[in-house]
Amino acid sequence: MSTENATTTTLLSPQDLLKHWQGHRGLTRRVIEAFPEKELFEYTIGGMRTFAQLVMEIIDLTGPGAKGLATDDWGPKDMPHITGNNMPVTKAELLERWDDTTTELETYWPQIDDFEKSIIAFGQYPGTALSMALYFIDNEIHHRGQGYVYLRGLGIEPPFFWDRP
Amino acid sequence: MSTENATTTTLLSPQDLLKHWQGHRGLTRRVIEAFPEKELFEYTIGGMRTFAQLVMEIIDLTGPGAKGLATDDWGPKDMPHITGNNMPVTKAELLERWDDTTTELETYWPQIDDFEKSIIAFGQYPGTALSMALYFIDNEIHHRGQGYVYLRGLGIEPPFFWDRP
């Protein structure tokens, strides 16, 4: 049909998607910073994980995930967010891991040579490189949104959701 | 550089992005369904809006948003999630609006003829058609994640995040 999305056939380059993700990552970092030290590791609602644990999941998916998408080496399966071992115990440590992950993402993302290729992420989740990258990003937004509720539950105003320069 | 995302230059077609969004919308619908009638309209944490109000925001951005992106007619500014007027008062009504919005989205999305065009969404938010569409999707994931915390706070198991057929 002539009216169907006539002039644009493709939307995003890999670089565009990385930039979009990095905007989200900057916001998530500010949400981590907004938590008081103690509550970051202890506060929960309804039996959920702490925000530190949710963030560790994001870290575990982002760094090793980008590496896996680029190299098909998905690393060890006993990641901190699964085993609880090797977890950071201070906000400063968590932020340091966060920043190391940013470096990993920036290193490996440009090496992903085909976003349509079939992969089995972490040896168990089938998809394409693109569907998995979108999953990682969506998962970050999802858990960060939960962090917003934790902050509100603690009486703390979260950063603006739309502020992702 | 020869190693930089060599074989894929573009990632998503408009149809791909719509499909991705619809997967999310199906999940959000199931999260609405998981709420008890009363708590959907009354339960909050930390002074936040109820999940019905958050969902109404998603509805107001998605239907009128898709129409605006396609036609540049952004409709009236006094939307229910802003004024609180014309809000659905039962879960069935909210789901009906949800489904009407799905129809609107499916109608207008194929008519968006240029995702790189500059727009001012709802007469006040500048961006491109693409950046705004991504904002609408991300905003849905964000608020739905908050709904997950509400459900957990109510002792209810939410649908699986990854289940978006």
Q: What is the pLDDT of residues A101-129, one digit of tens each?
A: 999 999 999 999 999 999 999 999 999 99
Which chain B residues contact residue A141 at CB under 8 A?
A: 138, 141-142, 145
State how far Cα B6 lies from the chain centre. Answer: 33
> Which residue among A4, A113, A150 places its CB closest to the CB of B6?
A113
For residue A132, what is the DSSP state?
H
Is 60 exceeded by the pLDDT of residue A8?
A: no
Is 90 exceeded by the pLDDT of residue B18?
A: yes
Quote the pLDDT of residue A10. 74
Is 70 exceeded by the pLDDT of residue A34?
A: yes
Cα separations in angstroms, B70 against A63, B59, B146 = 37, 17, 29
State how far Cα B58 lies from the chain centre. Answer: 4
Q: What is the pLDDT of residues A36-45, one digit of tens each?
A: 999 999 999 9
Poorest-pLDDT segment among A90-99, A134-143, B4-13, B136-145:
B4-13
Q: Domain residues for A78?
A: 39-153
Q: Would you say residue B24 lies in a domain?
A: no
* Element at B68 (helix H, strand E): helix B51-71
- What 3-state class would DSSP assign to A4? coil
Is 50 exceeded by the pLDDT of residue A13?
A: yes
Is 80 exceeded by the pLDDT of residue B10?
A: no
* A116 in reach of chain B (CB within 8 A): yes
Mean pLDDT of B58-65: 97
Q: What is the pLDDT of residues B62-88, one digit of tens each?
A: 999 999 999 999 988 888 998 888 899
* B6 in reach of chain A (CB within 8 A): yes
Is 60 exceeded by the pLDDT of residue B2?
A: no
* B84 in reach of chain A (CB within 8 A): no
Cβ distance of A7 and B47 shorter than 8 Å: no
* Model confidence band, residue B11 (pLDDT cutoffs 50, 70, 90): confident
Quote the pLDDT of residue B9. 62
Q: How far is A48 from chain B (nearest CA, A)?
A: 7
CB A31, CB A148: distance < 8 Å: yes
Dmax over Cα atoms in chain B, in whole Å? 58
Give the residue ranges of the annotated binding site of B.
Answer: 143
**Model pTM score:** 0.94
Q: What is the CATH number of the domain that holds A139?
A: 1.20.120.450
Distance CA B67, CA A100 (A): 42
Q: How far is B147 from chain A (nearest CA, A)?
A: 8
Cβ distance of A46 and B145 shorter than 8 Å: no
Tokens of A100: 């190391």
* B20 in reach of chain A (CB within 8 A): yes
Count of alpha carbons within 13 angstroms of residue B152, beta-carbon side: 16
Mean pLDDT of B139-147: 98
Q: Would you say residue B136 lies in a domain?
A: yes
Overall number of domains in chain B: 1
Poorest-pLDDT segment among A9-13, A68-72, A137-141:
A9-13
For residue A121, what is the DSSP state?
E
* Element at B118 (helix H, strand E): strand B118-121
Q: Would you say residue A44 lies in a domain?
A: yes
Q: Would you say residue A107 lies in a domain?
A: yes
- Is the Cα dihedral A152, A158, A164, B1 positive or negative? negative
Nearest CA among A124, A27, A13, A155 for reference residue B45: A155
Q: What is the pLDDT of residues B96-139, one digit of tens each?
A: 999 999 999 999 999 999 999 999 999 999 999 999 999 999 99
Tokens of B150: 């509400």
Q: Which residue of B has its CA nearest to A144?
A: B142
Q: Would you say residue A29 lies in a domain?
A: no
Amino acid at site B69: L
Is 80 exceeded by the pLDDT of residue B43?
A: yes
Q: Would you say residue A14 lies in a domain?
A: no
Q: How far is A156 from chain B (nearest CA, A)?
A: 9
Q: Would you say residue A18 lies in a domain?
A: no
Q: Would you say residue A85 lies in a domain?
A: yes
* Model confidence band, residue A2 (pLDDT cutoffs 50, 70, 90): very low
* Model confidence band, residue B8 (pLDDT cutoffs 50, 70, 90): low
